Structure 1
């Protein structure tokens, strides 16, 4: 590359054509312009007359200058000009291209391949041998140095892997075939420090210059931490804290983000910021999660696959069969445990032997002493199980209670009656939970009271083993470790006999917290690991974080599963017997130090190409030359036309303004087409189109309305004045419209238009207010929306075509909000409904995902499933009926409510008829 100041040329040999410019100047200067020929028979009569406007014998200097400049611009353009290029050291020896290929290299993998390809192409042009080292840990033996162009196919086929970049262990062995000459190395780094990196850097710098290309963006990783309360850690090389998506199947089986987690405050060390993220989700939602993923990140390190550590637990219930009389469920302690644990766990009931054979995570024993198989139960707890015991009359009356095994603390016989008829004391409340305990953060209701409890023997270890206490500091729940497991005792009964705790919501939360602390199951004990020495992959991830089938992957040894992902055991889900374990790529990392190497600035790796600017300049100069030549020849009009044509080709095509009515909007006004707002999410926009297409088909079949094909609306550019109905799906990452778009939206609402806001979240939670979600609040804040209320039973929307009281979509049960009725609105005598509004509600808000319920494909078949069997199709029919009612309501207004005037009109007609008689 030739560099002249800030300008460089990739093909400098073309500049040799500039030498011909002086020769061309002389030739053009010596050659006069073509003479103007005039056919005139009487030309002989003109001989001897002086020509006042003589024809030029030489081309004017300014015209020659224009032509020279145009030719020079063309030569410079084809010489590959670059503005401020980065100088690449070009040697004569071999070239080594090192590519980090771990998960951190995935975000900008294409640009890495392009940079490596340019280096190999330049080496091939210089006839230099080259080698390609892809640091994925799968290469063996010494590197082969070959002609550089033979490595391009392997480079283009390479992909990142779902583990960290892995270099060969010994640089000397890998470079055993190095040809003679100074080695030039190009290292495309992912920015992270890896084992052996410093040794490789020292070896390469000793052999020749090393150029390091850093990543284009900061690395971010997600790590799962187990323990009593599993949590995530977001590790980032910058200060950003993107949201973490909790992804799993919705009730219809479609995988989608179920929740968004916000990382906490970060701690920065060594340029890397770590942010803890609590998995603070309801158990029934957390159990559906299949993976956590950093928003807008596409690599394996940004994905955490969920395994048994965040999944449903198997809980075994062991009670006294003699106390489970039929018809006395409210007296049975197991009844309250079932109601508390069934939504979030898998329950197994039976005697202790049957329960232990089912390999549970947790065993709950209710008011039992002298347990059979106590030795087997102790071994199970020692191997990592969680045993939860509840006190009761049987335990309090046992004479050998002091020697009862598998208790966290020693107990006194009898019990303490603090709220009975023969007691002088009042029932006790609960003390606040310790901030560092398993129940930390739970609110203690003031109405929870304890009337009796099983007391513990005073001992020094009583206080540290108490994890919940009464207001008088006596223990309510105690816990102790036993081997790898733990034993927990509730000093009250599991029913309402000794307290009202089991009938409170706090009881459910306490049990869920305890069940979540079950770390391992008996199947995860070391003895069982010896029975299952190999793990089989069920699903693996590639470097981009995409799930793939484990085709051809051999079973993995147990000791390899205990490590981080690597060659032969990529990130993914592995199974051994009944166990499922996630091997995740995201790990806490350190940034690499490149002392002794030249670090290339990624933003200026290629320089700015100015070829287009020079070509445009040459075209303008040629247009000026055409105009000047025409003026000299007296053909002004033809020259002007030629110049105008050249300028027209260079002038950019005009863009349509935001207020222009395009053909689609004209068609929408002519055909009463339904319209939807584009969100930027291709899947959501396609669902909106299919949904309105399905609703349009129903309208054509059942009503006199015959809408055309749905119209996509860009709020920033399209005019809304010709529309009557606008469907607006709300997404989390939808950009806000411009201020001009909000002005048009407010005018649209004032002029009689309607917007159906669909938050599409009716499957996650009930919508408790008209604003419903932060995304909707952000989008609707600048709009002039009146006060809203749920659709009243006598609203016109319930009877504009069909008689409805529910408005289901793909989801069922969410409220629908419309403009609130005016104060004092009342129904007329004899009319079962009120005159609520003179016009149409400008907005309708809900979250039942109506477009998914209406959506049909090109063959007219439903796209999304609804429910099961006949009930699902019935729900889809009701969704269509709501759509018909909505469109009829938009087009006709409150015509149904005008029936309040019908009796008065009939009386008036009858009176006029009698008078006329």
Structure 2
């Protein structure tokens, strides 16, 4: 019927019964009349003839006929703008459903489309063949329709491309000699390598009809590549459908999902590729963990960034022992000054290179700098070669020793002439040479040529055909200044001048800093292996992307990958992070060479194109049922009025309410889902203020001290700071929501029941999401002592921590923010004063009193003490201390309260005070 169709048109024959319904409705008795009861009036009425009852009013009769018609039409299944053709009945139905990465946003519509086709096949008693094109195992054997619906209900989108070659093989294997009726390809519209075999297989099968459904895919947009240069990050975006303008938000997030930087990217009409830049400072770009397209929840709309984008570790090796009284003459002085703000530096220990270099490699640096080192011991050379081939970057500087080294040194990118070239002076014809403009394609491209930089000595490279391609920077006379060569997964870079000022004044310029910074930026960070030998280069799945572009710890059937490799995307190596928390490699769905093109159908293959469920077609059954319900309520109300159940005034009110209900019922937002859950009221009550929380251990006295201790600290915070916390809260870690609390105080007691695996897993998730747990063994002993007798509480703490992924720990350093977040502290006592306060170790190796404070806003996820903080803070209802101190010193109680204040300020504000240590250096740079 034009734009209207019915799934069960036979039911429309029931409309023929409407005249019978009309005749029956006419016999409804009229409304009773109300009269006064005078006896004489009754006598007068005795002589009247019998009267027939009045018929039903015409408008009520029409209302009931409309009610019956609405029910009949609703049962007939009306569809607006339906598909023009049904399923052919001359063969099985074949449904090919793309469930790759781009189908995630509209996968439910694709599932409904497939379910509608299978339901039509079930009505015709046709077998169904269902294939999901992103699955490894595909079987096209026809099955019963109800079995196909069961498999369809279990289908999920995958963060993988389609495997249409396997789909083609499955079709040809199952339909050999059999002709399908309808082949419905519910596609994502993206071309793949298997399109040719699949479409050829469909053409050879010769189905009665071939439908292409959902070909237009406006959700397909990907982050194809990201390049992190010295001063910005460039991101390459691509989209499939360029028929309309599009604006998306590109966000750079850290490991916790917090946005560090964001920019808008605007696509014009017919523009399918766009580059965006994030001009974030280098220090903040170190915290980038992934790039996301907000609102585009697909694996292609997320790009993971691995350790190659983070701060590098650089090992320094000098050919001579520097004189500390004359640091400006040391070969490593200028390198150290240039790289210290951007990398973690470490010098080789000892003068024996045969042992110093292998030991330095064991610390897994990203870059090793050799300053004027000529001949290397065989063991050191072998160790360096293996390290470079695994992904390391070796930077070498010339000098007198290198100038006399062997020309066949394998760790030099170009063949060198023996000796050095002197420019200028009485014995030279040449003048000192300035730098030439940096070459296009070089990592130094875009850097300005420094004025006044002259080179008066250098080592020369032998001319060769490949010398030009290996040169990153050169002098005005064309001789190389910096050359480089790839070796395995790593790189060797050579500065043809020395690292100090005896050969040139380049180390005194800002260009020297930028050149080294870019080289280090190009280097990979170290990846932690999981074994020795061949196994050391295998990286286990750590976090994987799901179809919505979110990281998950479920690894499924993923296998380890080779370090520094680019595995083909499959179910064995899906997109995600491989390695461990200490170091990982990112595998992304797209890279710069991965195409994103639209699916193309050969000219000789006939097909009909259709949209998904909801794209143009709409079921009208719910609307007719709603209309029938409204008409039924109106009829019921009218009957109550006619029977005299309401007075005239009440009837008017009822009609008014009915009209309001009808108006609200026709509004598009007439019903709302109730998504509340048990405990939401309590959770909302805890969001009004900041609450200090403690773990309920189940031991009455321990829990009472914890509650009174946090109550005492709450009062202290109220009177001494601007923070006004709410009442302390005891939480059950097995079921309560932990994310609303900044810190969780856990009094460890060996006599309490051991927490379950699920409870400890919830605490682990709380710590990973930014929360902090303060473990208090209350035994005055170090909870982390690896030897000697320990208390039962400490043993219980070890058992708990053995099941939590905790970071390396150290006692609070003297420069940590905890020492100055509110009060200036040097110790952290509670009831006792003998136990240190342990926190997450800062990423600077061993504690060093002279090191700078940790940068960034990160807060340690764990604190451990044995000093019984809550016992020192605990007060009674009158505000008096509950427990005595050991030793009895009230000043210790004051310091315990101050410790609690510093911990809370640290939890709530992060490491913001760490930035203050940089103020003198900033003022010095600004000249103030």
Q: Do they superpose with TM above 0.5?
A: yes
1:294 counterpart SS class: strand
Picking from 132, 139, 144, the partner of 2:137 is 139
Distance of 1:375 and 1:850 partners within structure 2: 40
Task: State the partner residue of 1:111.
Answer: 109
Q: Deviations over 1:77-121 (max 9, x none)?
A: 444433333345133342222221221222222222222223333
Counterpart in the other structure of 2:41:
43
2:596 corresponds to which of 566, 589, 594: 589
Change (3 A) 1:434 1:870: farther
Distance 2:345 2:58 in 1: 94
- Deviation for aligned residue 1:219: 1.0
Aligned ranges for residues 781-792 of structure 1 at < 5 Å?
none
Q: Hey, what's the Cα distance between the residues in 1 that align with 2:273 and 2:299?
A: 18
Q: Deviations over 1:157-191 (max 9, x none)?
A: 22222221113264466552689774223322122
After superposition, the Cα gap between the structure-2 partners of 1:870 and 1:223, relative to the gap in structure 1 and judged at 3 Å, is: farther
Aligned residue number for residue 540 of structure 2: 536
Name the counterpart of 2:438: 433
**CA pair 201-619 structure 1, distance change in 2 beyond 3 A:** same
Instruction: State yes or no: 1:652 paired with 2:664.
Output: yes
Q: 1:238 aligns with which of 227, 238, 241?
A: 241
Q: 1:211: which partner in 2?
A: 211
Aligned partner of 2:100 in structure 1 is 102
Query: Contact between 2:30 and 2:53, CA under 8 Å: does it hold in 1?
Result: yes
- More off after superposition, 699-708 vs 449-458: 699-708
What CA distance in whole angstroms lies between the structure 1 residues aligned with 2:633 and 2:23? 19
Counterpart residue number, 1:120: 118
- Cα 1:348–1:108 change in 2 (3 A) is farther
Q: C-alpha distance in 1, partners of 2:818/2:313?
A: 35
Q: 1:610 to 1:494 in 2, by over 3 A?
A: same
Deviation at 1:22, TM superposition (A): 0.9
Aligned with residue 507 of structure 1, among 494, 508, 512 = 512
Closer, same or farther: CA 614–202 of 1 in aligned 2, 3 Å: same
Partner of 1:565: 569
What is the SS of the residue equivalent to 2:16?
A: helix
Pairs within 5 Å for 1:237-636: 237-239=240-242, 240=246, 242-249=248-255, 254-260=256-262, 273-276=272-275, 284-307=283-306, 309-311=308-310, 313=312, 315-321=314-320, 323-342=321-340, 343-344=342-343, 347=346, 349=348, 352-354=353-355, 355=357, 358=361, 361-373=366-378, 376=382, 383=389, 386-392=393-399, 406=412, 408=414, 410=416, 416=422, 430-444=435-449, 446=451, 449-450=453-454, 452-454=456-458, 456=460, 466-469=471-474, 473=477, 477-481=481-485, 487-497=492-502, 501-518=506-523, 536-549=540-553, 553=557, 555-556=559-560, 562-575=566-579, 581-586=585-590, 587-594=594-601, 596-602=606-612, 603-604=614-615, 606-609=617-620, 611-612=622-623, 615-616=626-627, 619=630, 623=634, 636=648
- Structure 1: distance between partners of 2:370 and 2:3: 81
* Contact 2:4/2:81 (8 A) holds in 1: yes
Per-residue CA deviation, residues 128-179 of structure 1 (Å, 9 max, x unaligned), is: 2223212223225x43322211233322222222221113264466552689
Give the Cα separation in 2 of the matches to 1:638 and 1:552.
66
Structure 2 residue runs without a partner (length 5+): 668-679, 694-710, 728-816, 823-855, 862-869, 871-895, 911-928
Is the contact made by 1:810 and 1:849 (CA closer than 8 Å) also made in structure 2? no
SS of the residue 2:160 aligns to: coil
* Equivalent residue, structure 2, for 1:201: 199
Match of 1:17 in 2: 14
Cα separation, 2, equivalents of 1:468 and 1:91: 70
Q: Structure 2 vs 1, CA of residues 356 and 175 (structure 1 numbering), >3 Å: closer, same or farther?
A: same
Alignment partners' CA distance in 2, 1:233 and 1:495:
40
Counterpart CA distance in 1 for 2:263 and 2:481 is 31
User: What per-residue deviation string (whole Å, max 9, x for no partner) do you get for residues 657-679 of structure 1?
Assistant: xxxxxxxxxxxxxxxxxxxxxxx
When residues 184 and 503 of structure 1 are mapped into structure 2, their CA distance, relative to the original with a 3 A threshold, is same
- Return the alpha-carbon distance in structure 1 between the equivalents of residues 100 and 659 of structure 2: 51
Q: Which residues of structure 1 form unaligned runs of 5+?
A: 656-681, 711-807, 814-847, 854-859, 861-868, 884-917
Q: Specify whether residues 242 and 629 from structure 1 end up closer, same or farther in structure 2 by C-alpha distance, changes over 3 A only.
A: closer
What SS class does the counterpart of residue 98 from structure 1 fall into? strand
**How much has 1:599 moved relative to structure 2?**
2.0
**What residue in structure 2 maps to residue 726 of structure 1?**
none
Report the alpha carbon displacement of residue 511 of structure 1 after superposing the two structures with TM.
0.7
Does structure 2 conserve the Cα–Cα contact (< 8 Å) formed by 1:616 and 1:650? no
The separation in 1 between residues aligned to 2:441 and 2:234, in whole angstroms, is 15
In structure 2, the CA distance between the partners of 1:380 and 1:34, relative to structure 1 (3 Å rule), is: closer
8 Å CA contact 1:534, 1:555 repeated in 2: no
Rounded to whole Å, the distance in 2 between the matches of 1:246 and 1:880 is 24
Tell me, what secondary structure is at the counterpart of 1:544? coil
**Per-residue CA distance 1:282-323 (angstroms, 9 max, x = gap):** 5544444433333333222233333454455554422123x4
SS at match of 1:85: coil
More divergent stretch after superposition (375-384 vs 385-394): 375-384
Q: 1:224 to 1:47 in 2, by over 3 A?
A: closer
Name the SS of the counterpart of 1:651 in structure 2: helix
Q: Secondary structure at the match of 2:482?
A: strand
TM-fit CA distance, 1:381: 9.5
Match among 176, 183, 199 for residue 181 of structure 2: 183
Distance 2:717 2:371 in 1: 64
Distance 1:89 1:502, change over 3 A: same
Does the CA contact (< 8 Å) of 1:392 and 1:492 recur in 2? yes
Structure 2 distance, partners of 1:207, 1:149, is 22
Cα distance in 2 for partners of 1:134, 1:170 equals 12
Query: What SS class does the counterpart of residue 146 from structure 1 fall into?
Result: coil
* Aligned CA distance change for structure 1 residues 693 and 631 (closer, same or farther; 3 Å): same
Equivalences, count: 690
SS at 1:119's partner residue? helix
Q: Which residue number in structure 1 is paired with residue 830 of structure 2?
A: none
Instruction: Answer yes or no: is the 8 Å Cα contact 1:314–1:362 preserved in 2.
Output: yes
TM-score (norm 1): 0.62
What is the deviation of 1:592? 0.9
Residues 292 and 301, structure 2, Cα contact 8 Å, conserved in 1? yes
Partner of 1:766: none
* Contact 1:98/1:186 (8 A) holds in 2: yes
Shift of 1:277: 5.3
1:640 to 649, 652, 658: 652
Say if 2:314 and 2:343, in contact at 8 Å, map to a contact too: no
Conservation of the 8 A alpha-carbon contact between 1:560 and 1:569: no
* Shift in CA distance, 435/182, structure 1 to aligned 2, threshold 3 Å: closer
The 5 A counterparts of 1:826-845 are none
Residues 274 and 481 of structure 1: is their aligned pair in 2 closer, same or farther, counting only changes over 3 Å? same
- State the TM-score, normalized to the length of structure 2: 0.61
Cα drift, residue 573 of structure 1: 3.2
